[in-house]
Structures are given as structure tokens and as C-alpha cells.
Amino acid sequence: MSHSNFKAFVFDAYGTLFDVHSVIEKCNELYPGKGEAISRVWRQKQLEYSFLRQLMGKYATFLAITRDALHYACKEAGAELTEDTEKQLIDSYLKLQHYEETEEVLNKLQTYRTAIFSNGSFDMLNPLVDQSPFSSLLDEVLSVDEVKQFKPTPMSYQLVLDKLGVRREEVLFMSSNTWDIAGAASFGFYTAWINRQGKVMDELGVKPHYEYGDLRGILAHVE
């Protein structure tokens, strides 16, 4: 497929455009000595609960799941979660720093359709995108909340086609999450794995079409 055939560049939010590290810092600040463990389990359960709820047919917003996962992580670590610390930690998700190259890359994609497509619900995504310097550079912010189907289900990725009015093979989808790349590739999108930490691809029978250390790599596909 020649580079010019892409019509839409679609990005996952967390870990792809926005660095979730500040959440870890906030955990460490509020729970010295336990922050590392809390943030690791919090993220693990956040994903696990979204996958489990999808399988059980019990949808809840990503914000509700994020809160539940935090409660679990604190209980497991034997750390007391107060109303105040919970608010501070959840709020840290609304103020994430973006990766340094994000704005530059989005600027160079202005002749294409650009969108975020995230498992995050609008109550998490909208404040996050609004406080970033590139909100005006995105055509759409799409959330699975519109279809109540979490990625990596095929029905979730269908939302991208419906909203952007493109065909599967006209989409280049970017994520730092291997499970999201596997889901998108298996749905029929072209995929670029943004492998910032030099991780290993999951063994799910699909490989990313491209792999880059940061978002600048995708500029190879711009005319």
C-alpha cells in the first residue's frame, strides 16, 4: 500500500499521545514506598476490569472502572484511600502531559482526517484534550462510550469508520498498547505500534504493520 492512500490517522490516547507517568508520580507522592506497587496494580486492574466487563456484558465507563481499579490497588497495598486522595489521583488522569513530539506530528497531518480513539470515556478525554495545546489539530475525539464496547472488540473499531467516513484500509492506527494494535490489525486497520519502551509484541497471531520508537516515525507515510 502506498503511503498516500491513508486518509485517516487515528491515535490511542493513553501512552500514545499522553504520558501516564505523572499518575505514577502522584501515587508515589501520596503513598511513599507504596506508590510504585499501587500504580502498577491500578493500571493492570484498569485494563483487566475493562476486558472482564466486556466479556460479562457489564459495561461501565472507563472513569468508573479506573476508580474501581484504584480502590482494589489501594486495598491490596494496604493503603488508605480517602475522598481527597482518590480525587487527586483521578484528577491526575485529566492533566497528563503529552509526549513532546505530539503537536509537531499532528501539525504535519492537517491535510488528513485525525482522531483520538480511546477506551477512555468523554468525562476523562474531553478535559485532557482541552488542556493540551493540540485540541484544535484533531478532527474528532472518539470514545468507546458511544458504542459501549471496549477495544479490542471489532464492534468498537467500527465506530472509527462510521464517524470518519473512511474504509478500514484507509486508516493508520497508532497505539503503544500491544493488545490495541492486535485488535486494530485484526479488524483490518493498518497499524503503527508506538513502542516507546522497547517492549515485546504480544503473541496474538497478528503483527503491527509498522513499529516506531515515537510518533515521528509515522511521518514517513505523509506525502
Domain identity same for 215 and 113: yes
* Triad 201, 207, 210: Cα angle to 5°: 95
What's the pTM value of the predicted model, to 2 decimals?
A: 0.96
Helix, coil or strand: residue 10: strand
Which entry of 12, 19, 145, 180 is annotated as an active-site residue?
A: 12
Domain identity same for 33 and 118: no
Does pLDDT of 1 surpass 50?
no
Strand partners, 174: 11, 192
Domain identity same for 68 and 173: no
Q: What is the average per-residue pLDDT within 14-27? A: 94
Domain identity same for 135 and 69: no
Contact present, 207 and 185 (Cβ < 8 Å): yes
Grid coordinates representing 122? 468523554
Grid coordinates representing 60? 461501565
Domain identity same for 83 and 163: no
Domain identity same for 142 and 160: yes
Domain boundary among 67, 92, 117: 92
Tally of domains in the chain: 2
Which pairing describes strands 18-19 and 190-194: parallel, antiparallel, or unpaired? unpaired
Q: What is the mean pLDDT of the chain?
A: 96
Distance CA 118, CA 150 (A): 9
Contact present, 169 and 1 (Cβ < 8 Å): yes
Q: What is the CATH number of the domain that holds 31?
A: 1.10.150.240
Domain boundary among 92, 114, 148: 92
Domain boundary among 63, 92, 121: 92
Q: Residue 207: what pLDDT?
A: 96
Domain identity same for 122 and 168: yes
Q: Which domain holds residue 134?
A: 3-19+97-221
Q: Residue 115: what pLDDT?
A: 98
Grid coordinates representing 197? 519502551
Domain identity same for 31 and 85: yes
Q: Residue 124: what pLDDT?
A: 97
12 given a catalytic annotation: yes
Domain identity same for 216 and 106: yes
pLDDT digit string (tens) for 151-169?
999 999 999 999 999 999 9
Please report, rounded to a whole number, the percentage of residues in the chain having pLDDT higher than 90.
96
Q: What is the CATH number of the domain that holds 162?
A: 3.40.50.1000
Q: What is the DSSP letter of 153?
A: S
Give residue for cell 472482564: 52
Cβ partners under 8 Å of residue 114, min gap 6: 8, 9, 10, 11, 106, 137, 138, 139, 140
Domain identity same for 123 and 139: yes
